């Protein structure tokens, strides 16, 4: 018997005492909760061992490049161990998860505006790929020692721990989303490019955890076993990150697995939904109804038909503006995918322009913040600000009340939209809620991509499929433009819209770039990590909504991709503080860029030709 086997046996014995001493007892009727806890505790100890090795290897870093490669290899091994417990840790101990695998950048906690320093495995990766790794040695050791200290006390968090099968199955459900959208995109290991083998490690771990639940024969349990085994085999046979066929993996394994597990959980009556925005009635995360209304507690859409119709009429009503000359549709033109195809839109005042580009309203309701700088917390707040902005619509509450709620043409819609309320008691809250209800409906998800994902294999051509694989892989687009909306809402909980600093230049001249002066979210919160930070918009319908960026500086998708291919503003040589976009060139070929454009074209929905 070798040393490793001996160590595992000793660990198993110790873990038995740990579980008893921590007071965890198997709940009557439990299927796999107790087994899950034993699995987790054993894996935590192996994670600690991997961290100890990483700490030791980093301590040996010197000028020899071999020592750096050894450290990267140790980090990769450490990440694989972490991925085996991520489903449990992220679900039950989210604070610790953020410590272990946080983004390698300063993050601002809102609304407290507390700064969270870069930490954990991702920050170690960033430091190990820096130009002068040896100079980072002390900082690297500080990170590994902090991780070790934290990981060693993970078992203590299990004291009097209460765990049930519903929680275990939901944690796996979320991990399947995380794995299929983040791991395979390289979201948390962009430099190591270990996302595929990490997904394999996660799949193998979930296979073990699900085993007690699937031991009774049924069509669903058999299907889940087959999908898990097929998925694991596919991942292990195709470990190369850049060439991995994500579309085949999704359509053959990942999405059917989400569908089957959901059906199994429902069949076993083990449903629980602790999330605010995920809809477990949907088949998988790419389904049109996978994410619920971003305002929990609002009434169902089927009860809002009149409100939506009222909002649609208001959207085209010029009486909302101070001089009765413009409506929402003046800039957000339905025939142009709710944009105006201009770099900057004209102001209501003659001979002046607005500060920023007019974005599409498609999928606007599928963000947690509005405006390029995220300064509005929801659609109603955004609509209110636009109507009252002296440069946009310059409206007034008094005139709106007079021209809208006293308008006989609206009387029926008003009565149906706000039953029991008298028109004279209505105001901006009701008006903005109606327009928001209309905008929130602009998420058709009927593009060629959506049809392909739904099973129509003729909907996309080979170039578009290759483009998707690049988007979610080598090109790193999917690490900021998260599916299914390809915007800034972060999976798997979709409870946060991220902002990024990419260093957009003032014009499309990338040979002699000049940094744009717009400071973005910094104008809202004077924090240096927000300088030139902007919300990541949706890529859906981007092929129809040029020009691009917050200032409309790029006229074509080819120019946008050239900018990213060169590493953003920092890659162009501009002085960008705290750029969150990697400055390392992507080295995409002309063919790859063309394939990416083809994929983005496949995200074009059927136009909504609506008018007043």
Distance CA 334, CA 315 (A): 11
Check residue 159 and give its pLDDT: 83
Check residue 3 and give its pLDDT: 39
| Mean pLDDT, residues 279-289 taken together | 96
- The answer to whether the beta carbons of residues 459 and 451 sit under 8 Å apart is yes
Q: What is the pLDDT of residues 447-469, one digit of tens each?
A: 999 999 999 999 999 999 999 99
- The answer to whether the beta carbons of residues 119 and 132 sit under 8 Å apart is no
- The answer to whether the beta carbons of residues 472 and 478 sit under 8 Å apart is yes
- Please report the sign of the dihedral spanned by the C-alpha atoms of residue 5, residue 10, residue 16, residue 21: negative
Distance CA 253, CA 224 (A): 10
Check residue 12 and give its pLDDT: 37
Of 571, 574, 595, which Cα lies nearest the Cα of 585?
571
Name 580's bridge partners.
none
Distance CA 368, CA 139 (A): 35
Of 160, 238, 175, which Cα lies nearest the Cα of 207?
175
| Mean pLDDT, residues 202-223 taken together | 95
- The answer to whether the beta carbons of residues 155 and 41 sit under 8 Å apart is yes
Question: Measuring CA to CA, how many Å separate 285 from each of 155, 251, 552?
Answer: 32, 12, 31
Residue 299 has pLDDT above 70, yes or no: no
- The answer to whether the beta carbons of residues 181 and 285 sit under 8 Å apart is yes
Distance CA 184, CA 193 (A): 9
Instruction: State the SS3 of 248-292.
Output: HHHHHHHHHHHHHHHHHHHHCCCCCCCCCCECCCCCCCCCCCCEC
Check residue 471 and give its pLDDT: 98
Q: How far apart are the two ends of the chain, measured CA to CA in Å? A: 79
Write the DSSP string, 424-475.
GG--HHHHHHHHHHHHTT-----SHHHHHHTT-TTSS-HHHHHHHHHHTTTT
- Please report the sign of the dihedral spanned by the C-alpha atoms of residue 260, residue 261, residue 265, residue 268: positive
Check residue 610 and give its pLDDT: 62
pLDDT confidence tier of residue 34, bands split at 50, 70 and 90: very high
Residues in the chain: 612
Name 59's bridge partners.
none
Q: What is the pLDDT of residues 152-184, one digit of tens each?
A: 988 888 888 889 999 999 999 999 999 999 999
Which of 77-81, 96-100, 165-169, 375-379 has the weakest average pLDDT?
96-100
- The answer to whether the beta carbons of residues 356 and 372 sit under 8 Å apart is yes
Check residue 16 and give its pLDDT: 40
Mean model confidence pLDDT for the chain: 91
Q: Which two tokens stand for residue 466?
A: 């290759």
Check residue 23 and give its pLDDT: 41
Contacts of 170 (CB under 8 A, 6+ apart): 91, 272, 273, 274
Q: Which two tokens stand for residue 135?
A: 């100079």
Residue 529 has pLDDT above 50, yes or no: yes
Name 500's bridge partners.
534
Contacts of 233 (CB under 8 A, 6+ apart): none
Check residue 100 and give its pLDDT: 87
Distance CA 135, CA 543 (A): 45
Distance CA 593, CA 598 (A): 9
Q: What is the pLDDT of residues 93-114, one digit of tens each?
A: 988 777 788 888 888 878 778 7
Check residue 101 and give its pLDDT: 84
- The answer to whether the beta carbons of residues 521 and 356 sit under 8 Å apart is no
Kindly state the percentage of the chain with pLDDT values over 70.
93
pLDDT confidence tier of residue 508, bands split at 50, 70 and 90: very high
- The answer to whether the beta carbons of residues 263 and 280 sit under 8 Å apart is no
| Mean pLDDT, residues 391-420 taken together | 92
Check residue 295 and give its pLDDT: 65
- Please report the sign of the dihedral spanned by the C-alpha atoms of residue 197, residue 203, residue 205, residue 207: negative
Kindly state the percentage of the chain with pLDDT values over 90.
82
Residue 384 has pLDDT above 50, yes or no: yes
Distance CA 331, CA 325 (A): 12
Contacts of 119 (CB under 8 A, 6+ apart): 99, 102, 143, 146
Taking each helix axis from N to C end, the angle separating 65-83 and 195-210, rounded to the nearest 10 degrees, works out to 30
Q: What is the pLDDT of residues 111-131, one digit of tens each?
A: 778 788 888 999 999 999 999
Q: Which two tokens stand for residue 337?
A: 């995918």
| SS3 category, 272 | coil
Kindly provide the b/e burial profile for residues 483-498, where b requires at least 16 CB atoms within 10 angstroms of the residue's own CB: bbbbbbbbbbbbeebb
């Amino acid at each position: 018997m070798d040393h490793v086997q001996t160590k595992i046996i000793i660990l198993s014995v110790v873990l038995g005492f740990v579980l008893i001493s921590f007071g965890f007892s198997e709940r009557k009727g439990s299927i796999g909760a107790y087994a899950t806890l034993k699995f987790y505790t054993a894996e935590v100890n192996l994670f600690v061992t991997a961290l100890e090795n990483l700490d030791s290897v980093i301590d040996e870093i010197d000028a020899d490049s071999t020592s750096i490669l050894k450290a990267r290899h140790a980090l990769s091994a450490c990440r694989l161990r972490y991925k085996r417990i991520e489903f449990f840790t992220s679900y039950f101990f989210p604070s610790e998860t953020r410590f272990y695998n946080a983004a390698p950048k300063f993050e601002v906690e809102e609304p407290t505006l507390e700064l969270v320093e870069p930490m954990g495995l991702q920050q170690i990766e960033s430091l190990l790929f820096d130009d002068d790794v040896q100079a980072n040695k002390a900082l690297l050791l500080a990170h590994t020692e902090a991780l070790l200290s934290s990981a060693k006390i993970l078992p203590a968090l299990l004291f009097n721990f209460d765990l049930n099968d519903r929680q275990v199955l939901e944690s796996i459900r979320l991990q399947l989303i995380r794995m299929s959208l983040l791991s395979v995109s390289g979201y948390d290991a962009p430099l190591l490019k270990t996302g595929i083998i990490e997904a394999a490690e996660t799949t193998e771990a979930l296979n073990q955890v699900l085993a007690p639940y699937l031991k009774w024969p049924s069509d669903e349990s058999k299907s889940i076993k087959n999908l898990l085994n097929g998925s694991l085999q596919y991942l292990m046979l195709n470990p190369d990150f850049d060439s991995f066929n994500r579309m085949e993996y999704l359509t053959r394994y990942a999405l059917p697995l989400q569908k089957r597990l959901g059906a199994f959980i429902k069949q076993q009556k083990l449903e629980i939904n602790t999330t605010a925005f995920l809809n477990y009635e949907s088949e998988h995360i790419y389904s049109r109804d996978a994410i619920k209304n971003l305002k929990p507690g609002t009434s169902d859409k089927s009860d809002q038909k009149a409100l939506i119709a009222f909002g649609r009429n208001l959207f085209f009503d010029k009486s909302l503006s101070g001089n009765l000359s413009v409506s929402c549709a003046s800039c957000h033109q339905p025939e142009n995918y709710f944009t105006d195809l201009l770099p900057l839109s004209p102001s209501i005042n003659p001979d002046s322009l607005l500060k920023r580009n007019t974005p599409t309203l498609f999928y606007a309701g599928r963000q947690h913040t509005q405006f390029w700088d995220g300064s509005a917390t929801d659609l109603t707040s955004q609509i209110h600000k636009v109507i009252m902005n002296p440069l946009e619509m310059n409206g007034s509450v008094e005139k709106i009340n007079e021209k809208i709620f006293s308008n006989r043409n609206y009387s029926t819609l008003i009565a149906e939209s706000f039953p029991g309320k008298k028109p004279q008691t209505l105001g901006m809250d009701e008006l903005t809620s109606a327009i928001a209800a209309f905008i929130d409906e602009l998420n058709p998800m009927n593009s060629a991509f959506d049809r392909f994902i739904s099973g129509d294999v003729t909907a996309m051509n080979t170039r578009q499929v290759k483009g998707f694989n690049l988007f979610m892989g080598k090109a790193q687009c999917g690490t900021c433009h998260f599916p299914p909306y390809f915007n800034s809402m972060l999976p798997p909980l979709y409870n946060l819209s991220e902002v990024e600093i990419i260093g957009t230049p003032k014009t499309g001249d990338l040979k002699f770039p000049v940094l744009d002066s717009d400071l973005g979210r910094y104008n809202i919160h004077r924090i240096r990590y927000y300088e030139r930070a902007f919300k990541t918009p949706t890529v859906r319908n981007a092929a129809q909504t040029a020009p691009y960026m917050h200032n409309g500086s790029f006229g074509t998708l080819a120019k946008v991709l050239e900018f990213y291919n060169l590493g953003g503003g920092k890659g162009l040589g501009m002085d960008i503080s705290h750029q969150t976009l990697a400055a390392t060139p992507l080295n995409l070929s002309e063919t790859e860029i063309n394939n990416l454009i083809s994929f983005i074209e496949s995200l074009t929905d059927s136009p909504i030709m609506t008018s007043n």
